[in-house]
Amino acid sequence: MKNRGGVSIKIAVMTMKGGQAKTTLAINLASRIAKARREVLLIDSDIQANVTTTFKRDHHCNLANVILGRVSNFEFIELERHLSFFPSGGEAMVEASSYLSQTRFKDALFKNLLSSINHKIVIIDTAPSWSDVSRNILMYVDYVIVPVVTDYLGFSGCDQIMSYIDEFKESKLGQCKAEVLGIAITRSQPRTNLSQTITEGLRERWSNLLFKRVIEESVSIQEAPAFQQNIFDYRKGRTRGAEMYDQLCKEIMRRIIERQKDSL
Ligand SMILES: Nc1ncnc2c1ncn2[C@@H]1O[C@H](COP(=O)(O)OP(=O)(O)OP(=O)(O)O)[C@@H](O)[C@H]1O
Ligand SMILES: [Mg+2]
């Protein structure tokens, strides 16, 4: 995947609803891109610090401490070849969040602080909330991927975040060029009527945005983090979960390339 003039492509995995597989998608997308030998940085912005929980890796140089001005130089954790990780700082994100709230969107502090990051691809895992951190992330990224679980509240969560992103962009509170790259079904039980109905509803409502590859409920996807692994390394990638995520990630990468071409 090429990007214009060596500039980073930044993607947030975002929805305010909890448990939609934001972290699972962020980790696996970052890993898949790294396996395609692109330099990827995975940033955790969630107080729950679930990427740290998964890989048992943490560092004083984290997002909260950068926002709070406690560290000035970036140091990243190397998770695997081509894949770096920048932890959130966990609870320190509470203070960082209230500090960000006191700044003006116009000043784009978050975006400016991260402006020296030059990895080809930056992927941000986000918290299940809608806050000033979310808005600042929207001002920093180029694209948003919205994950959704095919149940009633999942659908409604998807609807909410799509409206909130639009409203924020229209409000012109800050300069926000983020576009929704797509909606990814991250947990579906295709044999149930509910799952089928919700999938159909998502297709009708966001036909251009919904990724075709649906991630089904899978034990391997649930097990991989317990072994501190992404889905492609877990059980040497010989799982249905790895196959599904491989197809979804390829579809995401193709869409990024298309969007980049369109914007030239
Ligand atoms: N396709 C799947 N099949 C089975 N389990 C899954 C699947 N996708 C994700 N999970 C599991 O669902 C749970 C929630 O996933 P995850 O932590 O990625 O969601 P999240 O949106 O990041 O949650 P939060 O809102 O708390 O940050 C985890 O235990 C994860 O392993
Ligand atoms: Mg999470």
pLDDT-derived band at 6 (thresholds 50, 70, 90) equals: low
Q: Which of 15, 16, 17, 24 to mutate to test the pocket of ligand 1 (most atoms within 8 A of CB)?
A: 24
User: Hey, how many other C-beta atoms are within 10 angstroms of the C-beta on 76?
Assistant: 17
pLDDT of residue 82 exceeding 50 = yes
Is residue 203 in a domain?
A: yes
CA of 71 to the centre of ligand 1 (A): 31
CATH number where 157 lies? 3.40.50.300
pLDDT-derived band at 41 (thresholds 50, 70, 90) equals: very high
Residue 23 Cβ inside 6 Å of ligand 1? The answer reads yes
Is residue 130 in a domain?
A: yes
pLDDT of residue 133 exceeding 50 = yes
User: What is the residue with the minimal CA distance to atom 14 of ligand 1?
Assistant: 19
Strands 83-86 and 77-80: antiparallel
User: What is the residue with the minimal CA distance to atom 5 of ligand 1?
Assistant: 222
Residue 17 Cβ inside 6 Å of ligand 1? The answer reads no
pLDDT confidence of residue 135: 96
pTM of the model: 0.97
pLDDT-derived band at 2 (thresholds 50, 70, 90) equals: very low
Per the structure, the count of domains in the chain is: 1
Is residue 48 in a domain?
A: yes
pLDDT-derived band at 1 (thresholds 50, 70, 90) equals: low
95/68 Cα distance (integer angstroms): 8
Residues 181 and 144 sit within 8 Å (Cβ to Cβ): yes
For residues 247 and 73, which has the higher predicted lDDT (pLDDT)?
A: 247
Is residue 32 in a domain?
A: yes
Strands 83-86 and 9-13: unpaired
pLDDT confidence of residue 234: 98
Counting ligands in written order, the one closest to the CA of 51 is 2
pLDDT confidence of residue 4: 46
> Closest ligand 1 atom to the C-alpha of 222?
31
Domain assignment of residue 17, given as a range: 4-213+247-263
Across the range 219-240, mean pLDDT stands at 98
pLDDT (tens digit per residue) in 167-223: 999 999 999 999 999 999 999 999 999 999 999 999 999 999 999 999 999 999 999
pLDDT of residue 72 exceeding 90 = no
pLDDT confidence of residue 69: 96
Is residue 230 in a domain?
A: no
CA of 19 to the centre of ligand 1 (A): 5
- SS3 of residue 236 by DSSP: helix
Is residue 238 in a domain?
A: no
Is residue 234 in a domain?
A: no
